[in-house]
Amino acid sequence: MDYFHRVDGDLFCEDLPVADLAARFGTPLYVYSRRTFVEHYEKLDRAFADVPHAICYSVKANGNLGVLRTLASLGCGADVVSGGELHRALLAGIPPERIVYSGVGKTGAELAAAVDAGIRAVNVENVEELRVLSEIATGMGRVQPCALRVNPDVDPHTHEYLTTGRSENKFGIPLAEVGAAAGLAATLPAVPLVGLDFHIGSQILSHVPYQAALRQAREVVEDLRRRGFEIRHLDIGGGLAVRYDHERPMTADEFHDGIIDLVRDLSLALILEPGRFIIGPAGVLVAEVLFVKEAGGKRFVILDAGMNDLIRPALYDAVHRIEPVRRADGDAAPADVVGPVCESGDFLGRDRALPAVRRGDLVAVMTAGAYGAAMSSNYNQRPRAAEVLVYGADATIVRRRETYEDLVRLES
């Protein structure tokens, strides 16, 4: 469900015409619907109301402060994977006790920042990290609760680059080594083991892979409790899919119903780390048509937005729906929708059915709220797009468009 809809053929975000937003703020432009991501957060929160739980939004999906502050106001926590994301989460007003910190390569400075903030848990990904965290916390005179991130060797049946819980992935402690890692934690000062983390991937369409991971999680929880560990929470990660084209993702209620019987009786808190599920459908990338040309038997629609603005199609072969912003007449015909970046891999869609568009028309790349602006870059020295947050009939710039001066500001 999202609040992008058409009125007399023209695309609206909530109560505002997208064409008016483009005229006001320029293109390329990311447009976010507040109602959409708030509703998605609330649906997931309600779905798990029957068990103790915390929703820790995955900041890497979209770390815009306007988005984070809105979610913080609803009681949402954060899953962070870098010191920069931790800084953003705290700046947005998310309390440290609602923050968990994942990631395979945390630096000493990043771990010290987490300890200093007093976050809920550091998700430890290897035994050496456990030792380093203990040394840092002890040196600071602090205690930092931790959780072991477990790699259960479960295939989530998603894109190869989006799997995080298979044995060949870099993430987590192998299942067979978790007992030894817990034993080490028991000998180290300042790092009480309070939880487990079983994040297996992203854009997952079925609850079946989660069930496979949670069956193993149950065994680990029960084994560690027999050994005297007080396991207070189980982090089941995020990864819930959204609809980009013709997918049939789970609803929040379907996800709950598919896994709840495996965790309800464990007497612990569930932590969920949704990112894409909350913010993905809440954003579109608006671009202007620069040129339309025919070459090699193909029609190319050339936009002022490219792979530096939205890299998912080039990186993941991702398919985003692409639609004209204004009412379009005439039959749709195949077109490659490409950008201005000097790369043959610079495309937002290939062989897409688009009606006749011409220079100056606007198109919207749908479901671009997650991993769009967050993964954008200045490649080809292109300033990054502005970001606008819409709430009803109000639109607020939550990230201004970069200037050429911004591109060189840090250089000497």
Contact call for residues 303 and 38 (beta carbons, < 8 A):
no
Q: What are the residues facing 272 on neighbouring strands?
A: 55
Integer Cα distance of 149 and 233 in angstroms: 12
DSSP 8-class letter at 84: H
Active site residue 342: yes
Degrees to nearest 5, angle at CA 82 with 78 and 87: 65
Query: Which tokens hold the place of 292?
Result: 């339309």
Query: Which tokens hold the place of 285?
Result: 């990338």
Residues 6+ apart with CB under 8 A from 212: 152, 154
**How would you write 191-250 as a 3-class SS string?**
CCEEEEECCCECCECCCHHHHHHHHHHHHHHHHHHHCCCCCCEEECCCCECCCCCCCCCC
Q: What are the residues facing 285 on neighbouring strands?
A: 30, 365
Q: How many CB atoms lie within 10 A of CB 142?
A: 13
Measure CA of the first residue to CA of the last residue in the chain; give whole Å.
47
Comparing CA positions, the residue from 277, 273, 274 lying closest to residue 249 is: 277
Integer Cα distance of 75 and 38 in angstroms: 11
Residues involved in catalysis: 342
